């Protein structure tokens, strides 16, 4: 876990007051707090979202999920929803909230993954198959 930020590393600018619930300032004031998420600047977030939108396989998405957790502390769960999966909207994509993670980012990550699923339905089928949906077919 990263304990202290290097001053040479750019960190994310604060959200406008009242616009977000990210608790960025509290995170900066907490000694020994995990501040990795602050390394996700607006430019880096844009690159991450483009990468998520353009994943080519389930394995690549899983690697990205692992890297987001290792480098930024972001946990993303992608799985079929509890009800029937009739469209890409039936796939549950959840980003765990934690201090420093912007509300807009928590919404943008699932949206980017969903766009990628819509562009490549075979990727969604692989996700469903990994959960055992097509096992008996």
In a domain, 64, yes or no: yes
In whole angstroms, give the CA distance from residue 95 to residue 60. Answer: 18
In a domain, 18, yes or no: no
Question: What is the pLDDT, as a whole number, of residue 91?
Answer: 81
Residues in the chain: 137
Question: What is the pLDDT, as a whole number, of residue 6?
Answer: 43
In a domain, 102, yes or no: yes
- Check residue 4 and give left, alpha or beta (phi > 0: left; psi -120 to 50: alpha): beta
Q: Which residue, 67, 84, 85, is CA-closest to 76?
A: 67
Q: Which residue, 65, 71, 61, is CA-closest to 37?
A: 71
Q: Which domain holds residue 72?
A: 24-130
In a domain, 107, yes or no: yes
Task: Domain count for the chain, please give it.
Answer: 1
In a domain, 8, yes or no: no
pTM: 0.81
In a domain, 15, yes or no: no
Contacts of 33 (CB under 8 A, 6+ apart): 27, 99
In tens digits, the chain (137 residues) has pLDDT values of 444 444 467 888 888 877 788 888 888 888 887 889 988 999 999 999 999 999 988 899 999 999 999 999 999 998 877 665 555 667 889 999 888 899 899 999 999 998 988 888 888 778 777 766 554 54
In a domain, 92, yes or no: yes
Question: What is the pLDDT, as a whole number, of residue 3?
Answer: 47
In a domain, 16, yes or no: no
């Amino acid at each position: 876990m990263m304990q202290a930020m290097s001053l040479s590393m750019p960190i994310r600018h604060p959200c406008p007051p009242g616009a977000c619930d990210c608790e960025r300032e509290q995170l900066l004031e907490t000694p020994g707090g995990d501040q990795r998420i602050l390394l996700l600047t607006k430019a880096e977030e844009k690159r991450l979202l483009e990468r998520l939108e353009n994943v080519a396989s389930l394995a690549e998405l899983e690697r990205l999920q692992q890297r987001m957790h290792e480098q930024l502390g972001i946990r993303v769960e992608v799985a079929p929803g509890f009800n029937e999966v009739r469209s890409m909207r039936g796939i549950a994509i959840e980003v765990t909230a934690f201090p420093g993670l912007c509300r807009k980012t928590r919404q943008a990550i699932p949206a980017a993954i969903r766009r990628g699923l819509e562009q490549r339905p075979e990727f969604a089928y692989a996700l469903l198959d990994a959960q055992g949906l097509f096992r008996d077919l």
